[in-house]
Structure 1
Amino acid sequence: MPFLGPGSEGEPGKQGGKLRSARSRMPGHIYRSRPLSSLYLCNGARTYSMGFLVPVLTSVETAMPGVSGIRLPPSTVMAACSTATRMAAETGAHFIDQFNNPANPAAHEDGTGPELWEQMGGRVDAVVAGAGSGGTLTGLSRFFARRSPATEMVLADPRGSVLADYVRTGRVGEAGSWLVEGIGGDSIPMVSDFSRVTRAYSVSDRESFATARLVLRIEGLLVGSSSGTLLAAALRYCREQTAPKRVATLVCDAGNRHLSRLHDESWLADQGLLQRDEHGDLRDLISRRHDEGAAITVRPDDTLSTAYNRMRVNDVSQVPVVVGDRCIGLLDESDVLIALAEGKFGFDLPVRDAMTRKIETVTPQTPPERLLPLFDRGWVAIVVDGERFLGLVTRMDLLNHLRRKLAA
């Protein structure tokens, strides 16, 4: 489980190998096309400044102190690498370039492979690994080709990535989209070699996330989304066997870097990745249900400071004001601005003095299309069953619902 070692993901030895191989050419700044804490750790003893280019959809927890991070719009891996190459040339920095750097698979061939072989007592029937740059799988393949040619190499790939289909057919198809971070690709990395991979599994986001959460619940291990993909593929492989085998896989990313996504049930519900009881009405559209304790709410005697902080931390623009199970008002960003703009009140003003009291509610049986006039007026739908508050439905909740419905 590399995520339990120093750096919490990957292998510091691998990243140290990249630094050593580049040191003679290296100026004072390093760029990498996505963050890796083990590279950050290996660099700690050096004097290089570091910068990472990451997709804007990457979990916010990947940020590291003292490291510059540039968030890129959604794009292909090759586009991100081109940006990193250009920035390195313009600033005189060195681009680690894990997708083309031969030190990447070499570190796994010389380090990860022997370590795995030793820990497994020299008996390994199969290794299940993922591929982002392909360095891990390539290095392990080369090691086991020498030490244990009978060991089967298995690829675990997010559904939507082109890599699994490439292993099966030898052709590069059209890439889809996936939410698992760190593995999968829209093209075949130059540094990769899948010639010894004999089997490939495409694992859906739902199965990957569910497996990672199951590991936390059963084993007490807080792992990340790519670990969920690898473990799900390893379990599939094992279930297909007719005789006992010794199968190894890697738990390579820590879940503390995925708290805002993988381990956030509201985010999972928004993405349609959380299995929930369906009612066939507006309750299915509520991403944060009040009866489950998930709704972000305030009480009338809370201060504007409390309300503001809850909106900011949870990235919402309004909060219902509740007393018990009843919603008695709504406070949004405009209400807070109006209360503060005159300069007569501060953040210690009670919510009751700034909230909107005249609210329009809907029942669970309200057809979704009836919400559009509310949204046109800039409102949210406040769903109640009698006097019992159930939750809010926003424009994004309706869009997520329609997306899930179309994908079904």
Structure 2
Amino acid sequence: MTGRPARAGRLLVVTLMAAVLQAAPARAAVQSPPDGVVIWGASADRIGEAVADRGYRMVVHTSVAGRDPRIRLSNAFGDRPVTFDSVYAGIQKEGPELVRRTNRRLSFDGSTSVTVPPGATAYSDPLPGRLPAGTDLVVSVHTPDAAGPLTGHWMAMQTSYATQGDHTAEEGGAHWTEAVGSWFYLDAVSVRADAGAVVALGDSITDGWQSTTDVNRRWPDYLARRLQKSQNVVKGVANEGISGNKVLADGAGQSALNRLDRDVLSQPGVRTVFLFEGVNDIKARTGVTAQDLIDGYREILDRAHAAGTCVVGATVAPFKGWSEWDPAAEAVRQEVNAFIRNSGEFDAVTDFDRILRSPYDQERMLPALDGGDHIHPNDKGMQAMADAVDLRSLDCPDR
């Protein structure tokens, strides 16, 4: 399984989409935050310094189908306003090249440009038409005078493209010669759909490290493909993993507690939060106890429940063989997992520890699922994780 449809089938789908989008009537802008459901997400972080007159052509793989797609641009970590004077969305053909007649200009409250204040986000107006499930959507942005801290998502596991100057309207790839492995400013895509969404809140395992680049084999990608074939109400999936992220402390991105509202609860149509974090708190050797992590989980539970969502908790996976593993860290992991499994405080539990561990050494990942560093699963392990999720639990039947 590659995570991409066959080339001919994919081109047929996106060509049909282009025709539908062109034929759809214009609609009035919808005020933010929008109705609808999030179908793609990437957690915002500071990823360097912004450059003036820079263009980014970003490839994202959506989950559920829907109408009137919108994007969200983020200046969450900027210390000054950032202006986007040209923003387009189209469909990938190959590399930076777009399928003909799919690249369309986005507006913001009716304007072709938008200035986003520091710490803020901005939704585009709906782009009339239907977006199929599993689309390789390409969002191109230009920032004429950007400076200061740059907001984006560092580890995309997806090749995107950059250039100097404004080439956002071009469907060809001649000017988009710089391949990049990050997303810049873009942190969400949503559509109008009769569906809900699950948001995966996690660290580098959720972010997809050790999965194959450019073929969408992170475990949330596999989960999205399962959901498309199901009868679930929840079909949208947003991946809000950050490599190195912790529940309790800032560092590699803001902590799960500090980014919960922006990355998760502010997304439209969210019915379920899938919480899979804790290993970075445990292995950091900073004195974090099992009770510290449990208290952090309980705060996430309380805030998510207050927002009307369910929370599925996932056990912390084995990591013996990783350089920071030791018996003391393992003892904390076992205590934390006992809470996740047995406390009854989560709306549902997915036991990733049981799925990934070796039957011969339950503190270690099964070699066939190990990406090689003894903490990150490979593609096969990512699929095993997604297959372990009870899809019925994501529909949040009891809330």
TM-score by length of 1: 0.29
**Structure number with bigger Rg:** 1
Larger helix proportion of the pair: 1
Larger strand proportion of the pair: 2
